[in-house]
Amino acid sequence: MNPLNTSVLLIYTGGTIGMIENAATGALENFNFEQLQKYIPELQKFNFPIDTYQFDPPMDSSDMEPDMWRKLVRIIHDNYNRYHGFVILHGTDTMAYTASALSFMLEGLDKPVILTGSQLPIGVLRTDGKENLMTSIEIAIARNKEGRALVPEVCIFFENHLMRGNRTTKMNAENFNAFRSFNYPVLAEAGIHIKYNNVQIHGNGEERELKPHYLLDTNIVVLKLFPGIQENVIATILGIEGLKAVVLETYGSGNAPRKEWFIRRLCQASERGIVIVNVTQCSAGMVEMERYETGYQLLQAGVVSGYDSTTESAVTKLMFLLGHGYTPDEVRDRMNRSIAGEITL
Ligand code: ASN
């Protein structure tokens, strides 16, 4: 019986939520989904079908690779018409990267894709996994009066907050409250009721057609500045054979050293067609290269603004754009536009 006329596909990739302690070493190891279900008998209480797809073997998300993102896109695309929503159980360590990548790869999404996981395994008494999973399923089936999904976006749900996936960062390795969306309001808050922040949610009410993308180019590097960084380090990184883009993590509102060699190296790399995107090392706020001379010179070296992008989002957006074969100037131009709500313009 399915009185709600709804259904969810639960995709289990791995992560702490489905891990168990190895008796000999004490280290956490993966176990399979049947065992996971044993610890969450509540799953049976949902009065609609929840089908599952399990990665075999389940993986710690530190092993996540773009091929796995392609696999997730394929699973969602192949099953798109069969389900009202998708919940992905994923390790927390790289969840923000996966959520960002999927937001670009699932163009025209009009159903919820909710990533969640936990900090403590599901078998542990104080686990945060149960709550996260149950609420994610509820969000995945939430629809308005017209029958459209309330949250047709790739999101992360964690510790009572629903966040746009490509705005999130894992910022705590200890607390249950592990993720933050510093530069965009939460999409929903779960208390006694789940309160949706409808004005901040993309595209509910629109009918769209899913267009899956699989092309990604990983010839990218993240370069984090620190006082004392040496010219040979910068030169070696910018000289990597085949390098196509750099996410440059700068200070404050997008500032960098004024040293002549530094600007010259960046200028030369830009001229060779390497796309350099300026993202701030600060958790919150926006790159404004016009603000200080230390930022303005980067503009003149051909560096483009990452605005208020997370590093995770800038990396995966570049992979996506480069994968589609755009020229460096076309990539620079598209970095200045929002594709999936990842930057505030
Ligand atoms: N190492 C785990 C993972 O990302 C951490 C977690 O899920 N809390 O797979």
- Asked about 116 being catalytic, the answer comes back as no
Ligand 1 contact via 278 beta carbon (within 6 Å): no
Minimum CA distance residue for ligand 1 atom 7? 91
Predicted local confidence at residue 4, as pLDDT: 66
Ligand 1 contact via 131 beta carbon (within 6 Å): no
Predicted local confidence at residue 3, as pLDDT: 61
Q: Which amino acid is at 57?
A: P
How many Å apart are CA 245 and CA 335, to the nearest integer?
A: 12
- Asked about 316 being catalytic, the answer comes back as no
Predicted local confidence at residue 204, as pLDDT: 66
Angle at 200 between CA 98 and CA 202, to 5 degrees: 60
How many Å apart are CA 305 and CA 276, to the nearest integer?
A: 9
Please name the residues in contact with 313: beta carbons below 8 A apart, sequence gap of 6 or more: 100, 103, 166, 167, 342, 343
Predicted local confidence at residue 205, as pLDDT: 64
Characterise 242 by phi-psi region: left (phi > 0), alpha (psi -120 to 50), beta (else). left
Low-confidence ranges of the chain (pLDDT < 70): 1, 3-4, 204-206
Predicted local confidence at residue 38, as pLDDT: 79
* 13, 16, 94, 311: the active-site residue: 16
Predicted local confidence at residue 228, as pLDDT: 97
Ligand 1 contact via 93 beta carbon (within 6 Å): yes
- Under DSSP, the state recorded for 278 is E
